[in-house]
Amino acid sequence: MNRVFVFNGPNLRRLGTREPDVYGSTTYDDLVALCRDTGHRLGLSVEVRQTDDEAQLVRWVHEAADERVPIVLNPAAFTHYSYALRDALAQRTAPLVEVHISNPAAREEFRHTSVVAAVATGTIAGFGMMSYVLALQAVAELLAEEKA
């Protein structure tokens, strides 16, 4: 079973109470269960982590690169300005799918730029929690293509 990391940046542990008009009522625990269940259905072993600490997220990305583990990443606010995260992600050794619950392009101007997108395999945004399901499906397909 292929291992996949799902990394979540700042404030995502507050899902369910944080701006429900933007992020919905699904809690972080619900998101973790959704990712694990989706992974199981796709034959993936999914480990979900969340941090508000940029340095911790960079360490996790290094771990993934060293172990050749694909990443589904919701960088949250780090999307728009974390060059440290972008540089760590550029060292990736497996697929990387950037994911967003909302559609950053339909929100405030400062959210329109992703420093992560250029080093990601692809980006999925604007589908609510389904964005994570789609991202995991993409990772599963990319891993299957590698084996073919």
pLDDT tens profile 25-36? 789 999 999 999
Beta bridge partners of 49: 7
Q: Are 61 and 71 in contact (CB under 8 A)?
A: yes
Check whether 80 is labelled as a binding-site residue. yes
Entry pTM:
0.92
139, two tokens = 């990772």
pLDDT score of 109 = 78
CATH number, domain of 99, equals 3.40.50.9100
Check whether 30 is labelled as a binding-site residue. no
Check whether 82 is labelled as a binding-site residue. no
Question: Which positions are catalytic?
Answer: 23, 100
Check whether 2 is labelled as a binding-site residue. no
Domain count, the chain: 1
Residue 19: partners with Cβ closer than 8 Å, 6 or more residues away: none
| Whole-number average pLDDT of the chain | 91
- Res. 108 pLDDT band, cuts 50 70 90: low
φ, ψ dihedrals at 48, nearest 5°: -105, 130
The C-alpha angle 126, 58, 52, rounded to 5 degrees, equals 60
Q: What is the arithmetic mean of pLDDT over 97-121?
A: 83
Domain enclosing residue 46, as ranges: 2-147
pLDDT score of 83 = 95
Given a cut of 90, whether residue 114 has pLDDT beyond it is no
- Res. 120 pLDDT band, cuts 50 70 90: very high
pLDDT score of 25 = 76
pLDDT score of 24 = 67
